[in-house]
Amino acid sequence: MNDTIKKPQISERRKFFTNIAHNAGLGVMGGLLWAGYADKAKGSTLTLRPPGALKEEDFLSACIKCGLCAEACVNRPSNISKLTGKPRPGTLKMAKAKDDVTIGTPFFVAADIPCYMCEDIPCVPVCPTGALDLASLTNKNNELDFRLMDMGIAVVDPNSCIAFWGIQCDACYRACPLMDEAIKLEYDRNERTGKHAFLKPIIVMDICTGCGLCEKACVTEKPAIFIQPREIALGKPGDHYVKGWDSKDEQRAVSQEAKDVTTKTERSEKGAADYLNEGVDFE
């Protein structure tokens, strides 16, 4: 009789401690999963966004992760396969936990599926929040203009690009939708042979849209030309350097001078020549 009373007590006690261990394990697992989610939610600085995307911080604030841009991309008329008659995978993807991109936001990988620079740019007008800015892609005639796209910029690695070795290749040049504008071929003499010429691909940074068609077309095992966000790929000389041939840059300098407050000293009153020649006897 005593045994029958004790057994339920032991069973309940085990169950109690088992539940504690189980719940503790779930708590730890949940914490690890949340930490992983939070880390993934930050995204990579190398993420390529759709055409017209605002600056990353503003884009993330405005994007509601609705997926309408990716849907418009895959359903565009030019994306129908001639073989199957069905839509092919779209350029834009909605980031998942496995992607190194802010979860739920649109992005693309140029080496997989580049942007084909559709004339009607279907992914942008459907954005309900302005995260994809229609005005930035509208020209002076109030028309959508794919030339105004700025998703990134192509970067050429001269060490792995076979054109820099002297092997003739113009795959990226011919794949560019703005051929001989965004990518130009620079002729250079091959000093090693003295007979052949290099045809080096040179990126025109003010025209390149970062579509990635060149990266997709590259013949090397790992593309020698690739797309990066402009703020990553390009340096910045600093506001104190002014391009005299650029009227906007000149105006910027004038505006800056108006704001500057210069401290004058006895030395600053002298000219450069006076200061440099100080104490020099020319006789």
Place of tokens 């997989």: 112
Residues 49, 136, single domain; the answer is yes
Residues 135, 217, single domain; the answer is no
Nearest CA among 49, 47, 211 for reference residue 114: 211
Cβ-based burial of 110 (10 A; exposed 0-12, middle 13-18, buried ≥19) = buried
Residues 178, 120, single domain; the answer is no
Residue 212 Rama label (left phi>0; alpha psi -120 to 50; beta):
left
Residues 128, 168, single domain; the answer is no
Residues 203, 220, single domain; the answer is yes
pLDDT at 25: 59
DSSP-based three-state secondary structure for 268: coil
Residue 29 belongs to some domain of the structure: no
Residue 270 belongs to some domain of the structure: no
Residues 139, 221, single domain; the answer is no
Q: Which residue(s) pair with 87 in the sheet?
A: 80
pLDDT at 275: 57
Supply the CATH number for residue 180's domain. Answer: 3.30.70.20
User: Could you read off the pLDDT tens digit of each residue along the chain, which spans 283 residues?
Assistant: 455 555 555 566 666 656 676 666 566 555 555 445 544 455 578 899 999 999 999 999 999 999 999 999 999 988 888 888 888 899 999 999 889 899 999 999 999 999 999 999 999 999 999 999 999 999 999 999 999 999 999 999 999 999 999 888 999 999 999 999 999 999 888 776 666 788 999 999 999 999 999 999 999 999 999 999 999 998 877 777 887 777 777 777 676 655 555 566 666 666 666 655 665 555 5
Q: Are 199 and 180 in contact (CB under 8 A)?
A: no
pLDDT at 244: 76
> Taking the CB of residue 203, how many other CB atoms lie within 10 A of it?
19
Residue 283 belongs to some domain of the structure: no
pLDDT at 34: 47
Percentages of the chain per state (helix, strand, coil), in multiples of 5 = 35, 10, 50
pLDDT at 117: 94
What is the separation, in whole angstroms, between the first and last Cα of the chain?
127
Cβ-based burial of 152 (10 A; exposed 0-12, middle 13-18, buried ≥19) = buried
Residues 104, 200, single domain; the answer is no
Residues 51, 145, single domain; the answer is yes
Residue 21 belongs to some domain of the structure: no
Question: Number of folded domains in the chain?
Answer: 2
Q: Are 46 and 111 in contact (CB under 8 A)?
A: no
DSSP-based three-state secondary structure for 69: helix
**Domain final residue pick, 103, 128, 149:** 149
**Domain final residue pick, 205, 231, 257:** 231
Residue 135 belongs to some domain of the structure: yes
pLDDT at 266: 67
DSSP designation for 89:
P
DSSP-based three-state secondary structure for 251: helix
Please list, in sequence order, all residues whose beta carbon lies within 8 angstroms of the beta carbon of residue 57, skipping any fewer than 6 positions away: none
pLDDT at 197: 80
DSSP-based three-state secondary structure for 187: strand
